[in-house]
A and B are shown apart, each in its own frame.
Chain A
């Protein structure tokens, strides 16, 4: 049981390049999330998927797109990377039903640098 996995762990991009961050969970969770963590800012929600087939914007969605490929996988795409998107990206999942089940389980993160 791997929990939440993210690939890649590290990535360096040039301004204007595109890339997709991959996330998968094996806990049969309904909800999945993408966050970014910047120094002094804590974690900020980019997008989330409350259930398979749905996605919604979080606090900071500009410059990103997401795809909930199936119940297990939720990807984050940067179409044209900018230096302001340099950050650590975390994927998370939760069961998504019932008050106690909204606890989120996080992956190890992807450290992205945009030059």
Chain B
């Protein structure tokens, strides 16, 4: 049973608009969350993180929001660029930062 879920397998957005990628988790003990980006034939690369003591973290065009009561996090990309087209994975950990549970990924397509 997957503890981290990304229910949208794909998302298509126009260049310059906002992309919102969602992630839900079932385990309330998770306290550290990451987003990774993956291009075809490459390994995932780290994008942004958030710990459970925060509800928002920003890094340039990327912002992650955490709603602990809803067990939900989202990644906002503003403005979206064609180079952002990739698969995005969210991941969560509970106390043991060597064990991360990954969602199944959302494929983002940013159209020029």
Residues of A within 8 A of B (CB): 4, 31, 33, 35, 40-45, 48, 50, 56, 58-59, 90, 92, 94, 96, 99-100, 102-109
A-B CB pair tally, cutoff 8 Å: 62
Task: Flag if B99 contacts A105 (CB, 8 Å).
Answer: no
Interface size class of B (residues with CB under 8 A): 20 to 34
Given contacts A40-B104, A99-B32, A106 and B98 within 8 Å (CB-CB): no
A31 vs B2: C-alpha distance when bound (angstroms): 24
Task: Flag if B42 contacts A108 (CB, 8 Å).
Answer: yes
Q: Which one of A31, A35, A43, A103 lies within 8 Å of B98 (CB-CB)?
A: A31
Task: Flag if B99 contacts A43 (CB, 8 Å).
Answer: no
Task: Flag if B51 contacts A106 (CB, 8 Å).
Answer: no
Tell me which residues across on chain A come within 8 A of B75, comparing CB atoms. none
Task: Flag if B100 contacts A42 (CB, 8 Å).
Answer: no
